[in-house]
Structure 1
Amino acid sequence: MGKGKIAAQVGHASVKAALLASEKYPAEMQSWLSNGQKKVVLKAQGALELEEIIRIAKKSNLPTCLIRDAGKTQIPANSLTVGGIGPAPSEKIDELTKHLKLM
């Protein structure tokens, strides 16, 4: 994916994660909104690693989302592009993602 496409996909994940968190995790959402709305973009090795991280995060009761592309521009339809975790305490997310590199 090109840089613009990556930015758009990350934007989709940020919005979706926030909307889901506002319904299921209102206290975490309010804290996130009040403390600068931190976002960190990391790179997984591929879809399998991304799905596994999201599976573990969900099992740990963290807010999660997966983004699949519509396929209208650069990549095939339904391709997994981005996963979102949070809003949640950084230390909980870091436990799952500390091995990943920054984008």
Structure 2
Amino acid sequence: MNLAMYILVNNDIKIGKGKLAGQVGHAVEVLYEKKFYDEEILNHYRKNRKKIILSCSQSKLEELEKEGYAAIRDLGLTQLESNTLTCINLGIVDRNNLGVLEFIKELKLYSK
């Protein structure tokens, strides 16, 4: 298996680098809190801990949120309005077998 955690960041909003780092941190944390994975997958993932951060449109993120992926919405205490969708964690995915997540091959690495 070639496992990586995929986090998609909303490229339709303006967000500072520090704020974005916090939001991505929340996305990682939420995934572990929900315990989406069995121990075998987590143990395999922990050997490399690859995280891939990609840019994505807000409309696609909203679609993924409706499908049940881990969504992060900001509280609105600093830079963003309350309830702004900042990122989605697609989870730990086998990069050799993306299945329904094949669309991520068309996305670009986040770089702002």
Q: Given the two structures, how large is their TM-score scaled by the length of structure 2?
A: 0.71
Distance in 1 separating the partners of 2:61 and 2:25:
17
Superposition RMSD on alpha carbons, in Å? Answer: 2.0
Structure 2 residue ranges without an equivalent (≥5): 1-14
The structure-2 alpha-carbon separation of the partners of 1:43 and 1:51, relative to structure 1 and needing over 3 Å to count, comes to same
The structure-2 alpha-carbon separation of the partners of 1:38 and 1:55, relative to structure 1 and needing over 3 Å to count, comes to farther
Q: Which residue of 1 aligns with 2:41?
A: 28
Aligned residues: 93
The structure 1 segments of at least 4 consecutive aligned residues displaced by more than 3 Å after TM superposition are 53-56
The structure-2 alpha-carbon separation of the partners of 1:102 and 1:95, relative to structure 1 and needing over 3 Å to count, comes to same
The 3-state SS of whatever aligns with 1:41 is strand
The structure-2 alpha-carbon separation of the partners of 1:77 and 1:54, relative to structure 1 and needing over 3 Å to count, comes to closer
Q: Given the two structures, how large is their TM-score scaled by the length of structure 1?
A: 0.77
Distance in 1 separating the partners of 2:28 and 2:108:
19
Q: Which residue of 2 aligns with 1:40?
A: 52
Deviation at 1:36, TM superposition (A): 1.5
> Residue type matched to 1:96 in 2?
F
Q: Which residue of 2 aligns with 1:9?
A: 23
The 3-state SS of whatever aligns with 2:24 is helix
Q: Which residue of 2 aligns with 1:50?
A: 61
With a CA cutoff of 8 Å and minimum separation of 6, indicate the structure with the bigger relative contact order. Answer: 2
Identity of aligned residues (%): 34
Distance in 2 separating the partners of 1:54 and 1:28:
23
Residues 69-91 of structure 1, C-alpha deviation per residue, up to 9 Å, x if partnerless? 01000001111101001122123
Is residue 81 of structure 1 aligned with residue 86 of structure 2?
yes
